[in-house]
Amino acid sequence: MGYVDGIAGRLAACVSSSLPRHLKEPMTAQVQQTEFLLDVAARFLASAREGAIREYGNGNINKTFLVTPKAGHGEPFLLQQLNTRVFEQPDRVMRNIRSVMRHLERRPLHTAPTLGRRWEVPHVLLTEEGRDHWLAGDGSYWRALRFIGQSQTVDAVRDPDQAREVGFALGTFHSLLSDLPISELTDTLPGFHIAPAYLARYDQVSRSTPAGSSTEETWCTRFIAEHRDWVPVLEDARERGLLRLRPIHGDPKVNNILFDAATGQAIGMVDLDTIKPGLAQYDIGDCLRSSCNPDGEETGRWQDVRFDPVLGKAVLEGYLTVARGFFDAADFDFLPASVRLIAFELGLRFFTDHLEGDVYFKVTRRGQNLARALVQLSLARSIDDRLDDLRAIVEDLR
pLDDT at 162 (0 to 100): 97
Rounded CA separation 230/147 (Å): 40
Beta bridge partners of 171: none
Give the CA-trace dihedral at 253, 254, 259, 262, to 10 degrees.
-170
Instruction: Write down the number of H helices and E strands in the chain.
Output: 13, 11
Residue-level pLDDT at 108: 67
Angle formed at CA 378 by CA 372 and CA 380, multiple of 5 degrees = 105
**According to the model, what pLDDT value does residue 27 have?**
62
**What pLDDT, on the 0 to 100 scale, is given for residue 117?**
86
Instruction: Give the separation between CA 391 and CA 375, rounded to whole angstroms.
Output: 23
Instruction: Provide the residue type at 220 as one letter.
Output: C
Residue type, 151: S
10 Å CB burial of residue 153 (0-12, 13-18, 19+) is: middle
Cα radius of gyration rounded to whole Å, the chain: 22
Per-residue pLDDT 10s for the chain (398 aa) are 443 333 334 334 443 444 444 444 556 888 888 999 999 999 999 999 999 999 997 776 888 999 999 888 899 999 999 999 889 999 999 999 999 999 988 876 556 677 788 999 889 999 999 999 999 999 999 999 999 999 999 989 999 999 999 999 999 999 999 999 999 999 988 889 999 999 999 999 999 998 988 999 999 999 999 999 999 999 999 999 999 999 999 999 999 999 999 999 999 999 999 999 999 999 999 999 999 999 888 888 999 999 999 999 999 999 999 999 888 999 999 999 999 999 999 999 999 999 999 998 889 999 999 999 999 999 999 999 999 999 999 999 99
Q: Give per-residue pLDDT as tens, 346-390.
A: 999 999 999 999 998 889 999 999 999 999 999 999 999 999 999
Q: Report the CATH superfamily, name and number, of domain 152-397.
A: Aminoglycoside phosphotransferase (APH), C-terminal lobe (3.90.1200.10)
Query: For the chain, what are the domain ranges?
Result: 7-149, 152-397
7-149 maps to which CATH number? 3.30.200.20
